[in-house]
């Protein structure tokens, strides 16, 4: 049965001289608005502002951004500098650097070849999401708890963490999902709850601080989240608040799953200690809807992500299969030892 998904997060219009259209996710769910990107600096800005977000989708957008960058480059050295600027947009999501380096590995400024590669990256992610969903379907037990947004809005397909839920829908099986609102930008409330409800999923929203208590109550049978970077030992960087969910799930015997494509693994980073965690603007915590909510003179610590140690992860669901402990050996085997810093494909 076909599943009703939101509009694609990005789409390329035209040939090598075309334009990248980005669905502005900061406007959702109130308004569906597209931003036209004809220059890599606009792609950079869209990624930085979270108009386009989700590790796999950021990588896809960056690949298209490199097609745009080639228009203004006369040498491969200039092209590499343009790639470095794009990578700097968001440091934690490894798919961004992976996609840019894959485009640079072509060693060409031929926009036709570059566009072909970007379209291939997009198509591969769409296929990866579908396969992740098929693996996840057999592991997830409802009610399911998820955090942040790792659905179709965050990827080139049906999602990572939400792919198994959409796979269940396609098989005419209803799923009950608890979604955290996800501070500070409310991706769970604005995006996850919106896209799940559009698809016909029974979704219940809760504040982040209530999640541990919900798990303790016995009303959650599985937790599934996405990832922005997975270290060689299986440590997982994901939206801040993920670590607390993993701790609660471990304490109460609830399986904690991470769903991510192979492009999210970074075997060049041995452990989670080596993952750079992005710090975002304090205004995201100190204000709400443009109005100051905290007292004047107060600062804020606003990490975008936290790192969950591998020992709290029940399994990692990928397009190539389900990875289980011991993660070091399993990740080496499933990725072939490649890292996100490698120029080639995973």
Angle value at C-alpha 249, between 182 and 232, nearest 5 degrees:
80
Task: Supply the pLDDT for residue 340.
Answer: 47
What is the CATH number that goes with domain 10-126?
A: 1.20.120.420
The reply to whether omega before 183 is within 30° of 0 (cis) is: no
102 backbone dihedrals φ, ψ, rounded to 5°? -65, -40
Is pLDDT larger for residue 344 or for residue 249? 249
d(CA 89, CA 48): 5
For residue range 84-126, list pLDDT tens digits in order.
Answer: 999 999 989 999 999 999 999 999 999 999 999 999 999 999 9
Give dist(CA 106, CA 101) in Å, integer.
9
Q: pLDDT, tens digit, for every residue of 129-185?
A: 999 999 999 999 999 999 999 999 999 999 999 999 999 999 999 899 999 999 989
Backbone angles phi and psi of 202, in degrees to 5? -75, 100
pLDDT band of 338, cuts 50, 70, 90: low
Q: Exactly one of 125, 228, 266, 306 is catalytic; name it.
A: 228
Task: Answer yes or no: same fold for 10-126 and 131-335.
Answer: no
Q: What is the SS3 assignment for 151? A: strand
Q: Which two tokens stand for residue 101?
A: 């380096």
Cα–Cα–Cα angle for 11, 16, 17, rounded to 5 degrees: 90
Dist CA 222 CA 40 (whole Å): 40
Burial 117-140 (b: 16+ CB within 10 A, else e): bbeebbebbbebbbbbbebbbebb
- Provide the percentage of residues in the chain whose pLDDT is more than 70: 97
- The residues spanned by each domain of the chain are 10-126, 131-335
Q: Give CA–CA dist 61/52, Å, rounded.
A: 8
Q: Give phi and psi for 255, each to the nearest 5.
A: -65, 135
Pairing of strands 321-323, 315-318: antiparallel
Q: State the pTM of this model.
A: 0.95
Place of tokens 């092209």: 79
The strand pair at 265-266 and 229-231 is best described as parallel
Q: Is residue 228 annotated as a catalytic residue, yes or no?
A: yes
Query: What pLDDT was estimated at residue 23?
Result: 98
Q: In what order do the strands lie in the sheet with 34-37?
A: 10-13, 19-23, 34-37
Look at the domain 131-335 and name its fold: Rossmann fold (3.40.50)
What is the average pLDDT score of the chain?
95
Helix 55-70 / helix 94-104 crossing angle, nearest 10 deg: 30
């Amino acid at each position: 049965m076909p599943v009703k998904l939101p509009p694609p997060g990005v789409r390329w219009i035209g040939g090598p001289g075309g334009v990248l259209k980005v669905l502005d996710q900061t406007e959702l769910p109130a308004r569906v608005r597209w931003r036209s990107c004809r220059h890599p600096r606009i792609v950079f800005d869209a990624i930085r502002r979270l108009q386009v977000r989700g590790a796999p989708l950021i990588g896809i957008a960056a690949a298209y951004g490199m097609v745009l960058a080639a228009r203004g480059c006369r040498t491969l050295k200039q092209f590499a500098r343009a790639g470095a600027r794009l990578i700097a947009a968001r440091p934690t999501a490894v798919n961004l650097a992976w996609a840019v380096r894959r485009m640079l590995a072509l060693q060409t400024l031929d926009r036709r070849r570059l566009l072909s590669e970007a379209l291939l990256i997009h198509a591969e992610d769409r296929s990866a999401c579908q396969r992740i969903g098929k693996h996840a379907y057999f592991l997830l037990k409802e009610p399911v708890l998820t955090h942040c947004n790792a659905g179709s809005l965050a990827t080139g397909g049906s999602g990572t963490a939400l792919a198994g839920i959409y796979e269940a829908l396609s098989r005419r099986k209803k799923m009950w999902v608890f979604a955290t609102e996800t501070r500070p930008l409310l991706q769970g409330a604005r995006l996850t709850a919106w896209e799940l409800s559009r698809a016909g999923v029974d979704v219940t929203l809760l504040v982040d601080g209530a999640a541990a208590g919900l798990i303790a109550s016995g009303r959650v049978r599985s937790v599934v989240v996405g990832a922005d970077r997975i270290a060689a030992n299986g440590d997982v960087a994901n939206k801040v608040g993920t670590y607390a969910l993993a701790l609660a799930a471990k304490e109460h015997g609830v399986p904690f799953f991470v769903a991510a494509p192979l492009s999210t693994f970074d075997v060049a980073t041995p452990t989670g200690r080596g993952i750079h965690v992005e710090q975002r603007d304090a205004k995201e915590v100190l204000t709400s809807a443009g109005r100051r909510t905290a007292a004047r003179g107060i600062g804020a610590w606003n990490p975008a992500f936290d790192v969950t140690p591998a020992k709290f992860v029940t399994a990692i669901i990928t397009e190539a299969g389900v990875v289980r402990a011991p993660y070091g050996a399993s990740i080496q085997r499933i990725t072939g030892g490649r890292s996100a810093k490698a120029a080639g494909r995973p």
